[in-house]
Every structure is written in C-alpha cells, then in structure tokens.
Structure 1
Amino acid sequence: MTIIGSLPNLEVLKLSSNAFVGSEWNPIEGEFLRLKFLLLSNIDLVKWRAEHIPFPSLETLELRRMYSLKEIPKSFGEIATLRLIHLVRTYGVRDSAKEILLEQESFGNDGLQVHVTDGKGRTYQL
C-alpha cells in the first residue's frame, strides 16, 4: 500500500477482496495526500489504524461488505474535507461512523453525512 499511497496524483482508490492482503492496515503519514474517494469492498480487514490524520483531502469513504472491520479510525473525525461516509452491508463500524459525525459537528462541519445501506437495499441516514 505504501507504493500506491505515494502516487502523487491519486484521487480515487477502489480496493476489493483480492487487492489487499492482511488483516491490518496502518497508513503512513504523508501517503494518499490527494485522495478524494476511497472504496473498500469485501476485504478481510480487522484493524485499521491511523494515528495521524489520514487522507487529508478525502471527501468520500465507502465501505461495502466489510464484515470483519469493527471501527473506522477516530482520526477520520479530523478530516475537514470529509463529506460522506457510506456503509453498505457493513455493520460493525456504525458506532465509530456516528462518533466521527458528532466530532465533525463539534468542529462546525454540518456538511458530513453518514448513509447506511442494509442487506435489502434500503438506505438511511445516521
């Protein structure tokens, strides 16, 4: 992931089941500086660590069928550009998505939305 993260003009990254190896991801500070859209789909990721503000330009985070993931890193609450977190059949991270939403609101960012789509295709907003 370090090689991908260091691509200077990378704005969209979509990773699915075979694109990621391992159960833990710890992005390094200085990676993914221009990334605006991140989609993780059907990856066996269990721990996602981000000690510094990851993805400083991120606008949309979409997680699909991420059954093993229990938490979105808390540092996502500090990403000023974040506008949408969309969870599709990804249930374990709802609480952390709600915490990020509340943190963003405490900073005066009322533009962040969290959408949840369940297994029947119904979408609602947190």
Structure 2
Amino acid sequence: MEKLEKLPNLRILKLKQSSYVGKDMFCSKGGFSQLHFLKLSHLYSVERWSIEEGALCNLRELEIVECKRLKIAPRGLWPVTTLRNLKLGYMPYEFQMMAQDRNGENWYRLEHVLPM
C-alpha cells in the first residue's frame, strides 16, 4: 500500500484476490490523496485495516466484498467526510453487526456514510 498511496493521480483502485497479501493494511496521512473509488474484494488474508487521519481525503465510494477476516471497519474511516457511498457484501458476521448496530461502540466509524 505504501507505494500505491503515493501515486499522485490515482483516482480508482480495485484490489482483488491476491493483489494484496498480508494481515495488516495501512493508509498513512496524506496517502491516496486523489482517490475517489476504492474496492477491496476477496482479500482473504486481511485482518486489520488502519487509516491515519488525513488519508483517503477525497474518497467518495468504498466497496468491501468478501474480506472474510476483516471483522471491523477501520477507526480512521470516520474523518473521511467526502465518503458518500459504502457497499458491503459477504462480510463476516461481526462486521455486519457493527454496520447495523446504531448504538454500538463502533457505530461512529460508519454513521456518516450509512443511511439512517
């Protein structure tokens, strides 16, 4: 991710199947500054995703599909105020419950994106 996030004109990124291998994904401050669309699909090894404040600052759409080990949305997603569309598909039970539980301790991570 550290090389990709520095590409100045990257607007669309789709990571599918074996395109990312590792348990931890990290987006650093200022990373992916022009990215508008991000799709994470079938990334079976990813367990944690960390986003520093100031990363993904222009992200509008995020799609996460069948990332079976990712149990929770990244904490750094809530300051991404440009995010308007979030699609989740075939995610672990824990992730789905977090996305649906408006009174849960992690709801703040998604509340600005998901419709009430």
Given that 1:60 and 1:83 are in contact with CA atoms closer than 8 Å, whether structure 2 keeps it comes out as yes
Name the counterpart of 2:104: none
Given that 2:58 and 2:80 are in contact with CA atoms closer than 8 Å, whether structure 1 keeps it comes out as yes
TM-score by length of 1: 0.76
Name the counterpart of 1:90: 91
Provide the aligned C-alpha RMSD in A: 1.8
Query: Partners of 2:29 and 2:68 in 1: how far apart?
Result: 26
Bigger relative contact order (CA 8 A; separation at least 6): 2
Q: Give CA deviations for 1:8-30 in whole Å, capped at 9, x if unaligned.
A: 01010000111002110111212
TM-score by length of 2: 0.82
- Indicate yes or no: 2:27 matched with 1:27: yes
The alpha-carbon deviation at position 95 of structure 1 amounts to 4.2
Name the counterpart of 1:9: 9
Query: Partners of 1:9 and 1:25 in 2: how far apart?
Result: 21
For structure 2, the 5+ residue unaligned runs are 101-106
What is the identity percentage for the equivalent residue pairs of Structure 1 and Structure 2? 29
Q: Give the number of equivalent residue pairs.
A: 107
Query: Partners of 2:58 and 2:89 in 1: how far apart?
Result: 22
SS in 1 for 2:3: helix
Query: Partners of 1:72 and 1:53 in 2: how far apart?
Result: 17
SS in 2 for 1:93: helix
Given that 2:50 and 2:76 are in contact with CA atoms closer than 8 Å, whether structure 1 keeps it comes out as no
For structure 1, the 5+ residue unaligned runs are 105-111, 115-125
